[in-house]
Structure 1
């Protein structure tokens, strides 16, 4: 009937059809079709999208920080360790030879 053209008068908006089919819907079906649930699903979808993007960018940042550490800091640590070992060997040799580890320059009298 709604598809038939009406002649004259004022047409009112159609009312929702509350027939037996709507009454026979279960409570769970009514709840899942509610606007609150649909907005909750949308919010959960948006949150998961943001979480995925955040994890991806965090992974990229971790990769950059890790490779930078390996390239710049690890060689520095190795060189500092070598220097410390070299100083310890010099001290051992100086103590074996009986000389002062650091000889102060003496002025000519």
Structure 2
């Protein structure tokens, strides 16, 4: 009878070993899956940052090339109009509308 208990205990220990191993494998697969997801998220983040940087560069250079000269020209025109208004008030003549 002692042999039967040992055999039964051996099967139970094998069963518990198998169940522990299967839990370890399932936990390992979860870790592997989480690592894959994290890796893909990092790749997407890098691509997003790179494309955002490119878009910011394009927007910034376009603003410098197109908008800044326009702003300077509008300011210059406004200053010229103020000077004409001052000259007109000094000579007491009505300014001519454009």
Q: Say yes or no: TM over 0.5.
A: yes
State the Cα distance separating 1:57 from its structure 2 match. Answer: 0.8
Secondary structure of 1:101's aligned partner: coil
Q: Which residue of 2 aligns with 1:41?
A: 35
Q: Which residue of 2 aligns with 1:89?
A: 83
Find the aligned partners of 2:78 and 2:31 in 1 and give their Cα distance: 66
State the Cα distance separating 1:101 from its structure 2 match. Answer: 1.3
Find the aligned partners of 1:78 and 1:42 in 2 and give their Cα distance: 53
Ranges in structure 1 where 5+ consecutive residues have no aligned partner: 1-17, 104-109
- Which aligned runs of 4 or more in structure 1 are off by greater than 2 angstroms? none
CA RMSD of aligned residues (A): 2.7
Find the aligned partners of 1:92 and 1:65 in 2 and give their Cα distance: 39
1:11-70 deviations in Å (ceiling 9; x for gaps): xxxxxxx6xx98xx9xxxx48x52111101100000000000110011111111111110
Q: 1 or 2 for the larger relative contact order (CA 8 Å, sep ≥6)?
A: 2
Find the aligned partners of 2:77 and 2:96 in 1 and give their Cα distance: 16
Q: Which residue of 2 aligns with 1:101?
A: 95
Find the aligned partners of 1:40 and 1:93 in 2 and give their Cα distance: 76
TM-score, scaled relative to structure 2:
0.71
Q: Which residue of 2 aligns with 1:77?
A: 71
